[in-house]
Structure formats: structure tokens, C-alpha cells
Amino acid sequence: MEMTMSKEKKQSSVVPMAIVATLFFILGFATWLNGSLMPYLKQILNLTPIEASLILFSFYIAVTFTAIPSAAVIRRVGYKNGMALGMATMMVAGLLFIPAAKTQFFALFLFAQLVMGTGQTLLQTAVNPYVVRLGPEESAAARISVMGILNKSAGVIAPMVFTALILSNFTGSVGKELSAEEVDQMANGLVLPYLGMALFIGLLALAVKKSPLPELENEDEQGDKGQVKEAWSHPNLRYGVIALFVYVAVEVIAGDTIGTYALSLGIENYAVMTSYTMVCMVIGYVLGIIFIPRFISGAKALAASAILGVVLSVGVLIADAQSFVIASAILVPFGGANLPDPLVLIALLGLANAICWPAIFPLALSGLGKLTSTGSALLVMGIAGGAFGPLFWGMSTGTSFGQQGAYAVMLPCYLFILFYALKGHKMRKKA
């Protein structure tokens, strides 16, 4: 009898997890398009590195203002409706790229990014608790790793799709001054892809609205401020928010600035560079599924990831941009591009970053019970690190460090992640 109930529970979670998996893919696709969009807009709008970093800043800063309101929306309309509403907002953002491309008005691009970030925040706040709560807490990291593979696989595909649909007609444009006609042609190349993406996300929002996705139990109504204060009183959550903040900062630096740095080095296919980082993240997620929690705990895996991040960051800083030794050893024999050593090391940071989200999220939510969605909203606020990490990188490029030396901003981030893995997640609220 007990085995039958367990089997039914497992079967009942298959459809919800399949729907959630699709949403993680959409989140990844829309998010990691930024890695191609940032250098693309830098080229056609002639932006400085700091101005280009605002493309990411406007996307991720939306989290700061909308994470807590997103939790309130979910309590009012439910998780499923919250997901559909988040995707509807993303659809509107996709449509805003059309007038932005037509006018080439930078502020409109930034506003479209802000709206996209708002929709993603609502969707993230709704979808992440599903992964944590649709199964045992001890295996939550493995489930999040599965979703992470889909999210990061979308990150591999998105730059390739961007390059195929948009950049394929503009070869030989790197390193030269574009004419007004060429700028118009490149800007207009954004219209149809973003229109198609907006329509697809809109259809998916309707599908989720009509789907058999079950509603999760929500926390008691006790007022937003009371819930936030109560959740924030848990030290493992507080430090978890900071850990996620610095993690997302380094993840976005590694994934989204690599194309801009490649453009400065004269790499023709700069728009696909994000794919290299995402491939490494997918490999890291697969390793996470294999080893966590079967052979190693999430906390130990997080500590190993932080140490690897420190080592690779130092490698990026001291590597010779004229050397191609690493690519000749691990990329070229398998048909990969012959890239400068610093670019390969930045891509390899994907291995260090992969385990961070699936390890930090369940550690931070541990013991929150009915405050899970509020805790999730606070954790999602940590995604704002994606706004400030590239911004600090962009500001540092204007110093004597240059674009390569600017990657030093990642070192303190990995050191804090190491602190959380070793001590911060163990700290609990005093009775």
C-alpha cells in the first residue's frame, strides 16, 4: 500500500515537473540572449563598456524592486497564475524591442530590458519553490540541477540562434566603423526574432494558465512586512541572499561580458562566446546530478566550486591574451575555436558557477516552512547581483586594469561563497 502511494505521488509530479522544466528553458533562453545582445548593441550604438553594462544592469535591477511585490502577487493569485502573469510581462518586453530597434533609442532598449527583468522575477519567484517542494528536501539540489541543465542548455542555444538569425548577414563588421545604413540594417535584424519570441512566450503563458499544474500550499496571511521580517530573521536565509547576489554577479560577468571582451580582441564570432560558458555550466550541472547528494553534500560541492572560481579568476588576470595554448589543448582537437587563453578561462568559470544556485537555494530555504515563498522572493532578489557585477566590471575597464584586469571584481565574490559553504549556511535562528 505504501509503495503504491509512493508510486502515485511520483507519477503525479511528472507533469508539473515537465511544465516547470519548460519554463526553466524559457527563462534561460531569454536571460542568456543578453550575452549576445550586449556586444551587438555596443557595436551598432557605439557604446562604451560602462554604457554596454547598463544593458545587463537594467535587466537585473528589476529584481530589486519587484521580488517582494512578486511574492505578494503570488499569494493573491497563486503560483500557476503567477507564472502565466510573469510570462505575459516577458511577452510585452519582447514586443518593446521592436520600436527600440526601429528608433535605435538606447533608453528604450533599457526600458525593454527592465520590463523583461520584471517578468522574469515574477516567474522565478513562482517557479523555484516548485522544484524545492515537489520532492524531498535532501534531493532538492539534484532537482534544481536538472532544471539548471535546461536553463543553461538554453544559454548554449540562444547565442547560436541569435548569431544565425541576426548576425549571419553581417560578417566582416568587427573592428570597422559602421555606416548609417549598416547600423539600420543590423538594428532591424532584431525585429522578427524578438517578435517571434514574444508570440511564443505569450502562447506558453496561455498553455500554463490552462494546464493541470497543481497549486502549492501558500503561507498564512500575516502581512507582507511581517512575513519578510520573520523570514529575514533566519541567518541561513540572510547570508544565502548575499551568497546568491555575489554568485549571480560572477555568473553574469562570466556569461555576458565574455562577448564584449571578445569583441575588443577582434573575435569575429563574439556573439556565440556565451555558449562556451554555458556549455561548461551544463557540464557542471551534470556532475552535480551525479554526485549530489549521493557522494558529496551540496555544501561541500559549493565550497569546491568557490575554490575553483578563485583559481580560475586569478588565471584570467595573469593569462596572456596573445596565447592560445589552452584552446589548442582542449578546444581545437574537438572542432572548437582557437581562442585566447583568458577567454577560455572565463568560459571555464561556468564549471565553478554551475553548482552555486542549486546548492545555495535549498540551504537558504531550509527550515522556513510556510515562509518558503517569501524566502524564495528574498533569494530571487539576489539576482540583482547580475546588475551590479557587470556594472563594476564595466567601471573597472576604464581604469589602468583594462577589460582583462577588470575581472578581478570576481575574487571577493567567490570568497564570500566559500564562507557561506563552510559556515554561513549552518547558522540558524536562535530560539
Quick: pLDDT tens for 216-225: 665 544 445 6
The reported pTM is 0.79
Q: What are the extents of the domains in the chain? A: 13-211+223-426
Quick: pLDDT tens for 8-39: 444 456 777 788 888 888 888 888 888 888 88
Report the alpha-carbon distance of residue 215 to residue 341 in Å, rounded. 48
CATH superfamily of 13-211+223-426: MFS general substrate transporter like domains (1.20.1250.20)
Comparing 52-56, 129-133, 208-212, 419-423, the range with the smallest average pLDDT is: 129-133
Quick: pLDDT tens for 326-345: 999 999 998 888 999 999 99
